[in-house]
Amino acid sequence: MSRVGKRPVAIASGVTANVDGQTVKVKGPKGTLQFTVHDDVSVELKDNVIRVAPRFETKRAQSLYGTARAQIANLVEGVTKGFEKKLEITGVGYRAALQGKNLQLSLGYSHDVVYPIPEGITITVPKPTEINIAGNDSQRVGQVAAEIRDYRPPEPYKGKGVKYADEFIFRKEGKKK
């Protein structure tokens, strides 16, 4: 049994939730999100609490209901607080700038990388070497951060590249004579 799946998801004040079959819709101050739960998992809304349970005693149902509960909890957190990822850029001449609905990155290539900002995601650049990505969908915020990081992942010798703010880059020693 999943320890995560057993815990109920409390609906915060100012948030409305609706369970229609296998679809959970959550609406709050930061927008509306929905998630479709797998058929092996049952979902019920009672007294401003969403409970998730496996429908069958199969290994697949046991593994899916903890994931479904975590996804629903992320929906509730997303429409109340939202999610944020911070990226840091390290390297001489490496910088980021916003130009309209695009993020322009200078990452040591012969050209600037232009990343179009998707709908529902807010990107801010407080300093040329910092990027803040915010939104109400945890998966989309993480995906955008991963796509930006993939343009120039940090290398282990000098640490140059785009990294998450809380990421540790294991440094290697250079060649010896």
pLDDT, one tens digit per residue, over 146-164 is 999 999 999 999 989 999 9
State both tokens at 86: 């911070």
Answer yes or no: do 128 and 142 share one domain: yes
Q: What is the pTM of this model?
A: 0.87
Q: How many residues does the chain have?
A: 177
Calpha distance 84→122 (Å, rounded):
9
Answer yes or no: do 97 and 157 share one domain: yes
How many structural domains comprise the chain? Answer: 2
Instruction: Enumerate residue ranges in the chain where pLDDT < 70.
Output: 1-2
Calpha distance 7→70 (Å, rounded):
10
Answer yes or no: do 74 and 92 share one domain: no
Contacts of 92 (CB under 8 A, 6+ apart): none
Answer yes or no: do 61 and 125 share one domain: no
Tens of pLDDT, residues 2-13:
677 788 888 988
The answer to whether 116 and 102 are in contact (CB under 8 A) is yes
Closest C-alpha among 87, 85, 121 to residue 101: 121
The answer to whether 79 and 29 are in contact (CB under 8 A) is yes
Provide the domain limits for residue 145: 83-164
